Amino acid sequence: AQKITQTQPGMFVQEKEAVTLDCTYDTSDQSYGLFWYKQPSSGEMIFLIYQGSYDEQNATEGRYSLNFQKARKSANLVISASQLGDSAMYFCAMRETLWAGNMLTFGGGTRLMVKP
């Protein structure tokens, strides 16, 4: 079974509008972390935002926020006021129990395209 599911292979958004990228996860662990990374066409992986499973408030980092719904096991990324430079692949990832080498399990990614 997929541990991280990103159901939107590709999305378009108009510049300056907000967009939500979906991510659902599957784990039986109580303590876990959820991450979003951005991969522009240049190929590097850029950390965007983190949400811990025990964090009571949704994480925010500038124009990025994470809509964390623990009961639904979803951790959607919201990008406000989209910019052309936001066009990239976006990956949701999960880190489960700390003993498992701190490794990340990634979803399949969503390609976001921002239209001028």
Partner 1 sequence: DTAVSQTPKYLVTQMGNDKSIKCEQNLGHDTMYWYKQDSKKFLKIMFSYNNKELIINETVPNRFSPKSPDKAHLNLHINSLELGDSAVYFCASSQAIGAGGRNEQFFGPGTRLTVL
Q: Which of 97, 96, 98, 77 is nearest to 88 (CA)?
A: 77
Q: How far is the CB of 42 from partner 1 (least distance, A)?
A: 8
Number of residues forming the site for partner 1 (CB under 8 A): 25
Report if residue 23 touches partner 1, rule: CB under 8 A: no
Q: Taking CB under 8 A as the rule, which mask of x and - marks residues 70-99 in contact with partner 1? A: -------------------x-x-x----xx
Burial of 91 (0-12, 13-18, 19+ CB in 10 A): buried
Instruction: Please identify which residue in the block is written with the tokens 């599911």.
Output: 5
Rule CB under 8 A: is residue 106 a binding residue for partner 1? yes
Taking the C-alpha atoms of residue 62 and residue 80, their distance in angstroms, rounded to an integer, is 9
Q: Which amino acid is at 35?
A: F
Among the listed residues 5, 20, 39, 67, the single contact to partner 1 using CB under 8 A = 39
Binding stretches for partner 1 (CB under 8 A): 33, 35, 37, 39, 43-47, 50, 52, 89, 91, 93, 98-106, 108-109
